[in-house]
Every structure is written in C-alpha cells, then in structure tokens.
Chains A and B, each alone.
Chain A
Amino acid sequence: MQPGLSFEQAPPFSAPLRFFLTAPLFAILAALLLLYEGPQALASRWAPPALALTHLLTLGFMAMVMMGAMLQMLPVVAGSRVPKPLLVASAVHATLTAGALALAFGLLLLSPPLLRIAAVVLGACFLVFIVAAGYSVAKAPAGSATVIAMALALAALAVTVGLGVMLASALGGAGLSISIPRMTDLHLGWGLLGWVGLLVIGVAYQVVPMFQMTPPYPRIMANWLAKTLFALLALWSAAGILLGDSVPWVALGLEFLAAAGFVLFALATLRLQRQRKRRQTDATTLFWRTGMASIIACALLWSAARLAPALAEDRAYSLLLGVVALYGFGFAVINGMLYKIVPFLAWFHLQSMAPGRSTIPNVKEILPDAAALRQLWAYWAAGGLLIAAAAWPEPFAYPAGIALAVSSAWLWANLMSCRRIYRSTLAALARETAGAIPDAARGS
C-alpha cells in the first residue's frame, strides 16, 4: 500500500492509555513534593524543589499526555502511520517515566549521577519519539495547518530537549562552559512557547471547530501563526546568543510580538466558542476557556513587568508567570482533552470488537459529564491556591499542595473509571460470545 493511504492502524488501547493513566500520578507526586517541602519549595524559580516540581508537571504530566495523544492522533490528522506504534509507545512511556523521575530527584537533591542518568534516558526517549512522530509527519500527504504546526512543535521539542540535555549534563558535572541562566531561558522558551504552544495551536485548529461545531479559525491565522511564532522564537534565540544583553530592545520587541501572537490565538478561540452551534457546554470547553484566559493573563503579567521593572525583580513574578502558564494554560487544556480522548477510545475499541452490539456504553456512560465537571471545580480551586502560593508561599503552600493532590487524584480516578467500564464491558462481551474475544483485546 502506498504511504499515506493506510487508515486502519489504530494501535491497541493499551498503547495510549498507559500515558494517560501515568500522567495524573506525576501531578500527584508534584503535589506531595510541595506538601513535603512546604513554602520553601516556592522560595524562587531557581530553588531545587521548584525545579523538581516544574519537571514533574512538564515532563511527567504534560509531555506524557501530549506524546501519547500525538501517537494516537497522527494517523488521523496526518493520514500516515507511526512506525511500530506499540513498540514506540512502550519504549517512550518507560523511558519518560524513568527519566522524569531521575530528573526531578536529580534536581531536588542536586545529585550529579541522577542528572547524568536523566540526560541519557530522556535524550533516548525523545529521540525515539521525535524520529517516530517525525516520520509520520514527513509522510503526511497534505500539509494541513495542523500537520505543519505539529511538525514545528516537534522541531521545537528537539531544541528543548537538546538544551535540556546540555543543562542536565552541565549540572551533572560535565565540563561544559555554558551560561546556565541564558540556556535555561532558551530551554523554557522553546519548551513552553514552541513545543506546548505550537502543539496546542495545531490541535486547536482541528478540535475547537470539531467538538463545539464552531466556524474554522481565520485562514490567515491557520496559515501563518505557527510559522510566525516559530520564526520569532528562532530570531529571539539568535538575538540572545549573538547580541547578549547589549541591545535589549531587540529581544523585547520579539517577545512582544510572540506574546501578541498567542493572545490573538486565545482571543480567536474564545470568539469561535461563542459562535458554536452546539449549545451544550461541557467540561472540556470550560477547560479550554480556562487555558485561553490563562494565555491572556500571562501576557498581561509579562507586560506589567516590562512597564514596572520593580515587578520583574520581585521573587513572585517568575513563579506566578510559571504557575499561570503551566497549570493555568498547559495543564488545563490537557486535562480537558483527556475527557474527550479516553472515553472515546474506550468506546471505539469496544465497538470495533463487537460491532453493532447494543450493550456497549456510549461515551457519556463511560464518563458522565457530572464527574468531569466536579473535577473541574477541584482543578479551579487548585489553580487559585497555586497562584496565591506563588505570591504568598507562607500561608498558601500547604493548601495549594492539598488542592493539587485532590484535583489530580480525582482526574486519575475519573480516567480509571473509564478503564474499569471498558474492562467490565469487555468481560460481559466475552461471556456473551463464550470467550471468542481476540487476544489483542486483553491486557490494556
């Protein structure tokens, strides 16, 4: 069969599900770390517990779901298969789990051996993922706006990981002469704005019109925004490396343009959602709105710090920006997407094993709206308390830790209940057909 023509390559349910069920456990671990360390975890963005917390959330939660979902989505949106999907999923999941733990504890304990192990294991993990996903993107027959944004997000991921491996190696005792603060800014710029930002934009082009039946994004935005943001990131990096701090307005101007681009995307998304044809407002839509509002909040906070340099000097500023960007934006969109992806995949795998069987629960029987909405309230509470804790760690670090643990455990419980219903339906189907379920269906 020619490349690009094979539609029937959905990997087994266990391939993506392992990512989605592991991710909330990392968020719970981040909450436990915050509770263990207390207010000193938020003493500054450079505090070892803050760095460990950040990587438990970015690698253990966000990248975990993003990579699992991308392996699942690529065959649909790019129309081309990911090579050896089950093998790639197993290898990426195992190395990401081990590597994220090694890095978080390496940063927390400032342990050179753990940091060196993390650099090697995570380097291998992302190499496998980028090669597999990059192969699928390169084979995509038509370069849709989504596929282009995904390709750029993958390139940004490669830069993020390259910088991250260098940073971990430098902290792990390798004799690299690099400026740690400058490399860190580049690393988080490419990770957050490039990999997370561009992937969310690319996915939004498909799923925002699709789930709520809104008009499509403006054509000029779909065609140009991701490419422009990627170019701005590249110019910003070059300016930082070549000019240093000698001509500050160059970096400032580029940062302003990138912020404006993300704000335009957030405003366009909120506007499209107001024009939706489906009137039902579900948890996923509210999670997306939270994420878009957080983009705007980040841009306002960043602008305020440019106008009032005293704010930029404040300990709380970069922590606040980090909380709103990571938990308010990235975590929210991902949490919301899990509620669409997991119930649908459970339904899809069940019905493909027993086509037309009326005993298969629909997606809202697999995950009731009410369960998702209740967890959304817990997420909002955790978000509010984390923002308060970034500003005033002393009274708020412990309540924020508890709220983050509750919200993340609730998310995990909701996803586990999807798996429980999947398994019990599978068992019921097997009883009906006297054990005639194929082996591939088991074990997920």
Chain B
Amino acid sequence: MATISQFMTDNHHHCDDLFAAAENAAGDGDWAACAGQFRKFADAMEHHFGMEETVLFPAFEQQTGMTMGPTEVMRSEHAQMRGVLKRLADAVAQKNANAYLGNSETLLILMQQHNIKEESVLYPMTDQSLGSRSGELIGRMAEMSKAA
C-alpha cells in the first residue's frame, strides 16, 4: 500500500511536469499553448494545496496537537506561492515572456525548497503519526482530484 509520503511526493512531481511544460511554452513564445499549460499547472497546484489544507494538515494537527508547528509554516508558504502564481497569470494575460520567466524562476525555487521540507520532514512525520489511517486519508484526497 502507498504511504502518504509516496502519494504526496508523486503529486509534487506531477506539478513539476506541468510547471516545466508551461514554462517551455512561454520560453517559445507560444502563448496559446502556454495559456492552456499554465491553467493545468495552476489547477494542479491549487488542488495540491487543497488536499493538504483541507485533509492532511487538519488530520495531522488533530493527531499531534501541533497547530502552530510545521503545518502553519507550510500554509504561509502556500500563500507565498499563490502570490507568485497570480503574477504568472498576469504575465500570461499580457503575453509578457520576461515577466513569465522571471516569476517562474522565483516560483521554482520557492516551490522546491517547500517540497524539500515537506518530503524530508513533514510527510515522514505524517507517515509516523497517521500511518494507520493512510488508506482512508489517501482515499479522501484522491476523491478530491476526481471532483476537481
């Protein structure tokens, strides 16, 4: 059976693939393709944030009693990433390649250092504290992707 770590890490990689496709289209100046790819990427990011903020983090906080710990920091980093995603959407609307590439580079580093923290620290902690419920939690998060 998949662990929470594996499930969430795979979802990070899915977001990474969409990030690269959208950025490559912007680099080529193919704005029709970029608009479509960016929409997919932004939706996948929002979906990932949603899985964490509505299912995984509350379950972790309830189990461990830590509400001001790592999950709070992860939430604030989600807010930072949403800010940069907004500026990427503006760049797509204005077909501005420099603005797109500058903001995507910014988002990349922000996103990757966030993922390192989650994959090396937070997810292993959720495996430990929520391991017995992993099937149920992964099921609920997978349901969200069907609904989305």
* B122 nearest CB across to chain A (Å): 8
Given contacts A5-B69, A278-B23, A279-B27, contact A364 B101 (CB under 8 A): yes
* B115 nearest CB across to chain A (Å): 8
Q: In the complex, which residue of chain B has the Cβ closest to the Cβ of A345?
A: B109
- A329-347 residues with Cβ-Cβ distance < 8 A to B are 340, 344, 347
* B28 nearest CB across to chain A (Å): 8
Contact between chains at B24 and A278 (CB < 8 Å): yes
Taking the complex as formed, is B17 at the interface, i.e. its CB lies under 8 A from any CB of chain A?
yes
Taking the complex as formed, is B140 at the interface, i.e. its CB lies under 8 A from any CB of chain A?
no
- Choose among A4, A278, A340, A344 the residue that contacts B20 (Cβ–Cβ < 8 A): A278
Q: In the complex, which residue of chain B has the Cβ closest to the Cβ of A75?
A: B117
Chain A residues whose CB sits within 8 angstroms of the CB of B23 once the complex forms: 278, 280
Contact between chains at B116 and A76 (CB < 8 Å): yes
- Choose among A1, A141, A206, A358 the residue that contacts B121 (Cβ–Cβ < 8 A): A141
Looking at chain A, what size class is its interface with the partner chain? 20 to 34
Chain B residues whose CB sits within 8 angstroms of the CB of A351 once the complex forms: 80, 83
* B135 nearest CB across to chain A (Å): 23
- Choose among A5, A142, A210, A356 the residue that contacts B120 (Cβ–Cβ < 8 A): A142
- A250-284 residues with Cβ-Cβ distance < 8 A to B are 277-280
- B128-148 residues with Cβ-Cβ distance < 8 A to A are none
- Choose among A1, A144, A278, A344 the residue that contacts B106 (Cβ–Cβ < 8 A): A344
Assembly CA distance A363 to B80 (angstroms): 14
Assembly CA distance A213 to B102 (angstroms): 17
Contact between chains at B121 and A4 (CB < 8 Å): yes
* B108 nearest CB across to chain A (Å): 7
Q: In the complex, which residue of chain B has the Cβ closest to the Cβ of A362?
A: B102
Taking the complex as formed, is B31 at the interface, i.e. its CB lies under 8 A from any CB of chain A?
no
Contact between chains at B102 and A363 (CB < 8 Å): yes
Assembly CA distance A211 to B106 (angstroms): 11
Assembly CA distance A347 to B70 (angstroms): 22
Taking the complex as formed, is B41 at the interface, i.e. its CB lies under 8 A from any CB of chain A?
no
* A224 nearest CB across to chain B (Å): 19
Given contacts A280-B27, A362-B105, contact A5 B70 (CB under 8 A): yes
Assembly CA distance A358 to B88 (angstroms): 12
Assembly CA distance A278 to B21 (angstroms): 8
Given contacts A79-B117, A278-B24, contact A355 B79 (CB under 8 A): yes
Contact between chains at B117 and A7 (CB < 8 Å): yes
Chain A residues whose CB sits within 8 angstroms of the CB of B83 once the complex forms: 351, 355-356
- A2-36 residues with Cβ-Cβ distance < 8 A to B are 4-8
Binary A-proximity of B4-19 (CB < 8 A = 1, otherwise 0): 0000000000001101
- A69-92 residues with Cβ-Cβ distance < 8 A to B are 76-77, 79
- A347-362 residues with Cβ-Cβ distance < 8 A to B are 347-348, 351-352, 355-356, 358, 362
Assembly CA distance A365 to B73 (angstroms): 27
Contact between chains at B106 and A213 (CB < 8 Å): no
6 additional A-B pairs beyond A347-B106, A356-B83, A363-B102, beta carbons within 8 Å, are A5-B66, A141-B124, A277-B20, A278-B20, A351-B80, A362-B84
Which residues of chain B have a CB within 8 Å of any CB of chain A?
Answer: 16-17, 19-21, 23-24, 27, 66, 69-70, 73-74, 76, 79-80, 83-84, 87, 98-99, 101-103, 105-106, 108-110, 112-113, 116-117, 120-121, 124-125
Which residues of chain A have a CB within 8 Å of any CB of chain B?
Answer: 1, 4-8, 76-77, 79, 141-142, 144, 206, 210-211, 213, 277-280, 340, 344, 347-348, 351-352, 355-356, 358, 362-365
